[in-house]
């Protein structure tokens, strides 16, 4: 698969990353079971086999079970660790901890960042996380405190590079001013269902400051990818339907899947975005990889933009 250098760092990723949010499967329980391990194994093996070399985690994915399952699989496949990049994130805390009244919240305090990173390393069974991110901006987060905690993790070799996720331009600028090292990625929601970063300066800032945008839910979290018919009662059905129909038309012309067209659309942006694929179906993971080989014409790109925009561009 084509590669991307992350920010100005020495980290080189496949153009499409693989997201481990869904690898533990569905359900309320976060127990480690052989069924869950097998589900995760099938997804991870498919991604590895089809050339995805960046695996995206967070401490909260399935309450840590995603990282734990991945750690098991990593031990099973000799040599895999040296061929891939592993990312993780911290800073979101589930409701109910430490006591039942505690709300869902953000925490970028130094103690939380350090403890979360150490817990992720343990679950993943590795010495170093290649790229460590703050998952969401913390309203109470002190940039100097974040800088201190992340510096310590870097100096101790527990992380290689640092990034953020879901940061607006101004939030990223404030944090950058406190750091003595670069922010190499901003992981943000981008897709034909979610064009905001094209319009609010987020992608411009990434290009200006040599930050790689990683696109989460690049297929709209599945809303754009599925084959099921869209009921008229579904909110945004016309929007989804227009994008899907346009992408299907282009996919037929190129002889590829709709998901490959939707992902190629993101890959063509000059910010050199890295979309993160979230499917756990080997066939879908393989089809998505086709995006890295596909080039759309400028006309096709704008047909899709127009389908999402809903009218002729001004």
Q: Active-site residues: which are they?
A: 61
Work out whether 218 is an interface residue with ligand NAP (CB under 6 A). Answer: yes
Query: Which residue is associated with the tokens 């998505």?
Result: 288
E strand intervals along the chain: 3-5, 12-14, 17-19, 54-56, 85-90, 92-93, 105-106, 129-134, 159-165, 183-189, 212-216, 274-277
CA angle 22, 172, 145 (to 5 degrees): 90
Per the DSSP assignment, residues forming a β-bridge with 129 are 159
Question: Pick from 201, 222, 236, 310: which binds ligand NAP (CB under 6 A)?
Answer: 222
* Stretch touching ligand NAP by CB under 6 A, among 18-26, 124-132, 149-157, 293-301: 18-26
Least separation in angstroms between residue 212's CB and ligand NAP is 14
Work out whether 64 is an interface residue with ligand NAP (CB under 6 A). Answer: no
Work out whether 187 is an interface residue with ligand NAP (CB under 6 A). Answer: yes
Least separation in angstroms between residue 16's CB and ligand NAP is 10
- Upstream peptide bond of 98 is cis (omega within 30 degrees of 0): yes
Work out whether 116 is an interface residue with ligand NAP (CB under 6 A). Answer: no
What is the DSSP code (8-state) at residue 61? G
Work out whether 241 is an interface residue with ligand NAP (CB under 6 A). Answer: no
For ligand NAP, give the closer residue by CB, 158 or 167: 167
- Please give the distance of CA 310 from its chain centroid, rounded to a whole number: 26
Q: Could you give the CA distance from residue 118 to residue 129 in angstroms, rounded to a whole number?
A: 10
For ligand NAP, give the closer residue by CB, 9 or 187: 187
| Site of interaction with ligand NAP (CB under 6 A) | 19-22, 56, 135, 165-166, 187, 216-222, 225-226, 259, 276-281, 284, 288
């Amino acid at each position: 698969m084509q590669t991307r250098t992350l920010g100005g760092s020495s980290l080189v990723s496949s153009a499409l990353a693989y997201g481990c949010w869904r690898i533990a499967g569905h359900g309320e329980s976060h127990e480690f079971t052989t069924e869950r391990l097998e589900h995760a194994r099938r997804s991870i093996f498919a991604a590895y086999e089809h050339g995805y070399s960046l695996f995206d985690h967070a401490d909260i994915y399935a309450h840590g079970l995603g990282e734990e399952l991945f750690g098991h699989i990593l031990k099973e496949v000799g040599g895999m660790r040296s061929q891939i990049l592993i990312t993780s994130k911290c800073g979101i805390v589930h409701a109910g901890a430490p006591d039942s009244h505690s709300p869902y919240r953000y925490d970028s305090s130094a103690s939380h960042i350090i403890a979360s990173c150490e817990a992720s390393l343990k679950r993943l069974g590795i010495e170093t996380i290649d790229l460590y991110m703050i998952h969401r901006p913390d309203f109470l987060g002190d940039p100097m405190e974040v800088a201190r905690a992340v510096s310590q993790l870097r100096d101790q070799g527990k992380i290689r590079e640092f990034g953020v996720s879901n940061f607006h331009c101004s939030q990223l600028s404030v944090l950058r001013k406190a750091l003595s090292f670069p922010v190499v990625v901003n992981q943000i929601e981008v897709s034909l269902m979610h064009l905001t970063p094209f319009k609010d300066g987020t992608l411009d800032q990434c290009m200006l400051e040599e930050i790689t945008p990683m696109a989460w839910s690049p297929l709209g979290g599945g809303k754009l990818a599925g084959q099921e018919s869209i009921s008229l009662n579904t909110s945004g059905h016309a929007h989804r339907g227009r994008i899907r129909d346009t992408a299907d038309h282009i996919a037929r012309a190129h002889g590829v899947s709709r998901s490959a067209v939707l992902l190629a659309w993101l890959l063509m942006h000059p910010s050199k975005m890295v979309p993160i694929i979230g499917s756990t179906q080997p066939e879908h993971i393989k089809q998505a990889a086709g995006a890295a080989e596909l080039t759309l014409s400028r006309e096709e790109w704008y047909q899709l933009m127009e389908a999402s925009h809903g009218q002729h561009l001004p």
